[in-house]
Amino acid sequence: MAKMSSPTETERCIESLIAVFQKYAGKDGNKTNLSKTEFLSFMNTELAAFTKSQKDAGVLDRMMKRLDVNSDGQLDFQEFLNLIGGLAVACHESLTSSRKFI
Amino acid sequence: MAKMSSPTETERCIESLIAVFQKYAGKDGNKTNLSKTEFLSFMNTELAAFTKSQKDAGVLDRMMKRLDVNSDGQLDFQEFLNLIGGLAVACHESLTSSRKFI
C-alpha cells in the first residue's frame, strides 16, 4: 500500500496477516496455499503458546481438516483467515465473559 | 494473554483486532457491538485511506448492510472480522495478481 502517512493499527494488521501467510505458504511448493507441513510450522511458531497448551495431540489435524473447507489438503488465504478469525473470536469471548465477574 | 515471552506477530494482530474493535464499540451504548455511527467512525479513522478512495458516497452504507448478517443494525465482533477478512483478501489478491506482470 503506497501511502505518505504511516499505516493505522488496522492497516498494519491487514499487512501483517498477508505477510505472515506468504512467509509460511512460501516455504515449499505452491506459494498461494499452506500445505499441512506449512500449517504445522505456522502453528508451532506463530501460535506456539496456543499449540503447546493443547493436551490432545490430534487437535492440529482436526483443525486443518475443519479449516480446509474445499478439502484440497491445503489452506488458501481465506481459509487461513478463518483460523485467525476463530481464534480472535474465542479470545474476545473469553475476555468479555471473564470481565462479567470482575 | 499472560505470557512470559513477547507475543508473535500473529498474536499481536489478534490482540490488536480485539483492542480496535473494543475501542470503537465502546464509544456509545452497547459495548459489544459497533453501531452505524461507530462503524463510520472506525472506517473514517482506521481505514481512512480506503474510505477516502471510494468515489461512491453510498459505499459505506452498502458495506454496513452486507456485513450486518443478522440485520440487527449493528456489527458484532464476528461481523467486524468479516470486514477485516474481506479487505485482507482483496489486498492479497491485488498483490498476487500484480506480481504476475512483473
* Each residue's pLDDT tens digit, B12-59: 999 999 999 999 999 987 889 999 999 999 999 999 999 999 988 899
Residue with cell 489478491: B93
Homologous superfamily (CATH) of A9-99 is EF-hand (1.10.238.10)
How far, in Å, CA of A64 to CA of A32, rounded? 16
What is the predicted pLDDT for the residue at A72? 95
14-73 of B, contacting A, C-beta below 8 A: 14-21, 32, 42, 45-49
- Number of CB atoms found within 10 A of residue B18's CB: 19
Per the prediction, chain B carries an average pLDDT of 90
Crossing angle (nearest 10°) for helices B77-99 and B59-67 = 120
What is the predicted pLDDT for the residue at A49? 92
Cβ–Cβ < 8 Å for A10, B87: no
A88: chain B residues, CB-CB within 8 Å? 14, 17-18, 77, 81
pTM assigned to the model: 0.86
Minimal Cα distance from A96: which residue of B? B32
Domain-wise residue ranges, chain B: 9-99
Closest CA to B43 of B24, B19, B69: B24
Q: Which of B17, B32, B88 sits opposite A88 (nearest CB)?
A: B17
- Report the sign of the C-alpha dihedral through residues A90, A92, A93, A98, in that order: positive
Contact B18 A95 (CB under 8 A): yes
Contact A47 B11 (CB under 8 A): yes
Cβ–Cβ < 8 Å for B39, B64: yes
3-state secondary structure of B34: strand
- Number of CB atoms found within 10 A of residue B10's CB: 23
Contact A3 B95 (CB under 8 A): no
Cβ–Cβ < 8 Å for A84, B82: no
Minimal Cα distance from B88: which residue of A? A14
Cβ–Cβ < 8 Å for B34, B82: no
Does any CB of chain A come closer than 8 Å to the CB of residue B12?
A: yes
Q: At residue B1, does pLDDT exceed 80?
A: no
| Tens-level pLDDT at each residue, chain A (102 residues) | 555 678 999 999 999 999 999 999 999 878 899 999 999 999 999 999 999 999 888 999 999 999 999 999 999 999 999 999 999 999 988 888 765 554
Size of interface A-B (CB pairs under 8 A): 98
Confidence of residue B4 (pLDDT cuts 50, 70, 90): low
What is the predicted pLDDT for the residue at B102? 43
